[in-house]
Amino acid sequence: MKRCIMHLDMDAFFASVEQLDHPEWKGKPVIVGGSGDRGVVCAASYEARKFGVHSAMPIVQARKLCPNGIYADISRGRYVEISRKVMSVLYSYSPVIEQASIDEAFIDATGAGHLFGSPLEMAQGMKQKIFDTVGLTCSIGIAPVKFLAKIASDYNKPNGLFAIYEEDVSTFLQELPVRKIPGVGKKFVEKLDELGVSTCGHVLEYSLEFWERRFGKSGIALWERANGIDERAVEPSIEAKSESAETTLHKDTLDKVLLKKWLMRHADRVGQNQRKHGLKGRTITLKVKYSDFQSLTRSKTLPDPTNTTDVIYQVAADLLDAIDLVKPVRLIGLGLSNYNNTGLEQLNMLDHMQHRCTGVVRATKKQQQIDEALDAVRNKFGNKVICRGSLFGFTDE
């Protein structure tokens, strides 16, 4: 299958968060930096960039260029909080997310097409959902390989969306300056300049052997990129290897029957996403937040990895049953983690022996067939057309 990779980059992230938290700073040059006048610029709003201010510039220099700018301290905790929210939006689209920095991520959207429409529609949806969730804009690039997705996200910034399709890759690369290739630094650019090489088109005028002889590994990489080759996969980061779904209820409740309906809905969504990507997890985590915001989690690890809705649900429901609800619940969620990345069944004999006699929940053939049938219908007609019998008539209200 052809790969579809997206790169998401928040627009002027730190500066935009400051403008969000201080609405009176909107439309004004905001410069975020630490350590008073001895520090460097961490982020500059687009208004500040017009004055020539950019990140990594000494604050002193920025003050000369933009004396009337607003100079804000770094609100690290706030950036992390918003970053987490952004990333969790991404997980509702694909479990294969590689967070590249606090405000950047690669998304493997290969195979997610049927669920969310065309890649452009999917990216459009992501941008909207991120804006609705955190109130900030981002830019997304779409391409068959990682480095082009990253270049594409920078193409129409801010609030950009740009796709480089397989059939357009060579045309796009022909005029692309080599300095735009991630990893090609200043010094390398200078050396290439001496050879009269400034675009990817120029790179291809020399053979792979030439580049290898001249620059070794970097030369090979350059030739590959100029040909649109980038074999790197989107690698989910360790802590990112989980998928979850949670809901803050309209009304706090002690009703376990109602809470279990939510668990079924969450299990269904998480399971469906995992199946779509051929992933399975072994650990199911239940999350409950009480009306006083105190929260608790309970986990259970299964001997076999699963992505079967009923199994995920049953384990979470059992975990809920084991809890004595002391206060009304305001949020209920569940997560699946502990993946085997290949998506293949991993038979762990030791675990098998330990769990054999302890009433472990395992998927039956019938449950798997129900999942397959539901997925097939939903992939074709969308998620709303069909639901499990137990969720019939159950709405968000």
* C-alpha dihedral (314, 318, 323, 326), degrees to nearest 10: 50
**E strand or H helix that includes residue 174:** helix 169-174
Q: What is the DSSP string of 313-340?
A: HHHHHHHHHTS---S-EEEEEEEEEEEE
Binders of Mg ion among residues 102 to 121 (CB under 5 A) are: 103
Closer of 140 and 284 to Mg ion (Cβ): 140
* Residue in 104, 121, 205, 345 annotated catalytic: 104
The minimum distance between CB 101 and Mg ion, in angstroms, equals 8
The minimum distance between CB 189 and Mg ion, in angstroms, equals 22
Closer of 103 and 304 to Mg ion (Cβ): 103
* Of 306, 288, 309, the residue nearest 297 (C-alpha): 288
**Is 321 within any annotated ligand binding site?**
no
The minimum distance between CB 331 and Mg ion, in angstroms, equals 30
**Measured between alpha carbons, how far is 87 from 106 in angstroms, rounded to an integer?**
10
Closer of 152 and 259 to Mg ion (Cβ): 152
Asked if 375 contacts 275 with a C-beta cutoff of 8 angstroms, the reply is yes
Closer of 138 and 332 to Mg ion (Cβ): 138
The minimum distance between CB 294 and Mg ion, in angstroms, equals 35
Look up residue 229 and give its amino acid.
I
Binders of Mg ion among residues 51 to 110 (CB under 5 A) are: 103
Look up residue 183 and give its amino acid.
G
Stretch that binds Mg ion, among 11-19, 127-135, 162-170, 362-370 (CB under 5 A): 11-19
Per the annotation, the verdict on 246 as an active-site residue is: no
Asked if 320 contacts 265 with a C-beta cutoff of 8 angstroms, the reply is no
**Is 132 within any annotated ligand binding site?**
no
Closer of 13 and 91 to Mg ion (Cβ): 13
* Of 361, 253, 257, the residue nearest 304 (C-alpha): 361
Q: What is the DSSP letter of 40?
A: B
> Which phi and psi angles does 71 have, rounded to 5°?
-105, 110
Asked if 19 contacts 25 with a C-beta cutoff of 8 angstroms, the reply is yes
Q: Is 304 in the site for Mg ion (CB under 5 A)?
A: no
Stretch that binds Mg ion, among 10-18, 33-41, 193-201, 365-373 (CB under 5 A): 10-18
The minimum distance between CB 318 and Mg ion, in angstroms, equals 42
Binders of Mg ion among residues 171 to 230 (CB under 5 A) are: none
Of 4, 6, 7, 9, which one interacts with Mg ion (CB under 5 A)?
Answer: 9
Neighbours of 24 (CB within 10 A): 8
Chain residues binding Mg ion by CB under 5 A are: 9-10, 13, 103
Binding-site positions for Mg(2+) read 9, 103
Question: Could you list the active site residues?
Answer: 104
